[in-house]
Amino acid sequence: MKVVIVGGVAGGATAAARIRRLDETAEIVILEKSGYISYANCGLPYYIGDVIKEAENLTIQTPDKFWSRFRIRVEVNHEVTDIDPEKKTLRVKDLKGQREYEESYDKLILSPGAKPLRPDFPGGDSEKIFSLRTVEDTLNIHRFIEENKSQSAVIVGGGYIGIEVAENLREKGLDVTIIQKPNQLMNTIDYDMASFVHKEVRSHGVNLKLNSNVTGFAEEGDQILTLLEGECGQEKISSDLVLLSIGVQPENELAKKAGLDLGLKGSILVNDKMETSKPDIYAVGDAIQVKHFVTEEDAHIALAGPANKQGRIVADNVCGGHSHYQGSMGTSIIKIFDLTVAATGLTERGAKAAGLDYEPVFLFPLSHAEYFPGARAMAMKIIYEKKTMRILGGQILGAQGVDKRLDVLAVAIHAGVKADKLKDLDLAYAPPFSSAKDPINMAGFIVENIEKGLVQHYYWHQVEELKTRENVTLLDVRMKDEYDHEPMEGYINIPLDDLRDRIGELDPKKPLYVTCQSGLRGYVASRILSQKGFEVYNLTGGYMLYASLMREKKINLQTHPCGKEIFS
């Protein structure tokens, strides 16, 4: 059996190595258009920022190593230009030797990945405008900055790559501006959680231009101007270089030529065995359409983890096995300066779009036992379906312990653990690492309390409307010094510890809307008051979440010259 794989990196290289482990006699060939067969895609921004100092450290495997260990023939700088599914042949162009030849196959695996979107902007062909996908792209950007002693950069796009490059360039000393068409960074989290990301990014000196649409570019001397049209009219930003990071699209030219069925965004349609619409042709990685694990709807999710799993599955099936891909949840994590941001499953926005009856809960637990030095608060948002209690998704931000909690959530979603059963998980505890009641357990407690009717919630976006109502009482149960330091307009302050003694100050005929710093004391106050006959609602996420959103609102008003509010 001769297996030809088009494209290396995560999916292709993984498939090749697995095939060899399953079949010592197979002839395996990898054809890679770039000069590198297996490299650390996710590490590319860190070379630009000199965190990874040696370019060779980006290379995971080389053609020689692949041959020595696996007897796999790897041809880099070889572009496959055409596929003939009937003859089972490929047309290959040697980009270095400038020759073309035909390569036959018994089984063909396509792993071409996804390419950065690069719209046809006026002035977009400038040599000062870059995209980031390959090692070559990284080397070119790094070289440009060093040779030109660049002092400023504009990043168009606030996704993972854009933010990581922005962080690395800022740490390198450049003035950095991120331009984002939507009103928030990162579409993998909701606006309320993104407000904490915005604060972190701004606190490190990165300028954010949200709700701003790039219309083109122009060179002015040794500078490049990024032309914008936003909520407040036209604007231009001058910088030494620009990085376009506005998303990716599946690399599907070969698939189209071969007549393969295509799906979302032009991605290659495959079944759960990674088989395309043509016999003996498979596809994996960022180029394919998958099923979302939570909704079972079609999706395009370009991440390294799924690509590696798909590479293993396709290898099994090429070798006569029966492995099946169960779908993608989009589980992801990113370092943003001193903040870790992680997400899995659906956002609240996604749950709403899917027409699900869901409930979001917020909490701000400490990363480990409070009495042990160095405990830091995390922001957690869990979304669950009310009728079935299944966990739909989660988002966690913080300085410590984010990754392990997010991974627990991802496992819980995959295993079908109900949201209230998070309280029952037996998780590791020692003071430097967690609390006896782990944050994941605490999320389960909150869900259980809601579903048992022990607490009713209201949300940050309802606060402003509540302030206009005369038939309600707004109550803040924080300590007096907390309230005095950061008062919540419209709320009266009765500290939780004084509440039982001062309950006579409250009108039992009016619904009570309670808040505290993070929601915990508000819950305790709700239990006291509800048992005294009050109708009580607790602000989920408390003042910490509300204040973050109000800060974002204030900054939006200050930073947009027209004074227009850009707020969700």
Residues marked active site are found at 42
How far is the C-alpha of 447 from the C-alpha of 420, rounded, in Å?
A: 5
Nearest in space to 443 (alpha carbons), one of 545, 346, 347, 364: 364
How far is the C-alpha of 241 from the C-alpha of 54, rounded, in Å?
A: 23
Do residues 499 and 477 make contact, with C-beta atoms less than 8 angstroms apart?
Answer: yes
Please report which residue ranges of 61-134 form alpha helices under DSSP H.
63-70
Do residues 538 and 183 make contact, with C-beta atoms less than 8 angstroms apart?
Answer: no
Dihedral over alpha carbons 64, 69, 72, 75 (to 10 degrees): -20
How far is the C-alpha of 304 from the C-alpha of 321, rounded, in Å?
A: 23
Nearest in space to 303 (alpha carbons), one of 327, 324, 280: 327
Do residues 344 and 328 make contact, with C-beta atoms less than 8 angstroms apart?
Answer: no
Q: Which residues have a Cβ under 8 Å from the Cβ of 464 and sit 6 or more positions away?
A: none
Does an H or E element contain 466, and which? helix 463-466
Do residues 399 and 376 make contact, with C-beta atoms less than 8 angstroms apart?
Answer: yes
What share of residues in the chain are helix, strand, coil (percent, to 5)? 35, 30, 40
Do residues 12 and 109 make contact, with C-beta atoms less than 8 angstroms apart?
Answer: yes
Does an H or E element contain 100, and which? strand 99-104
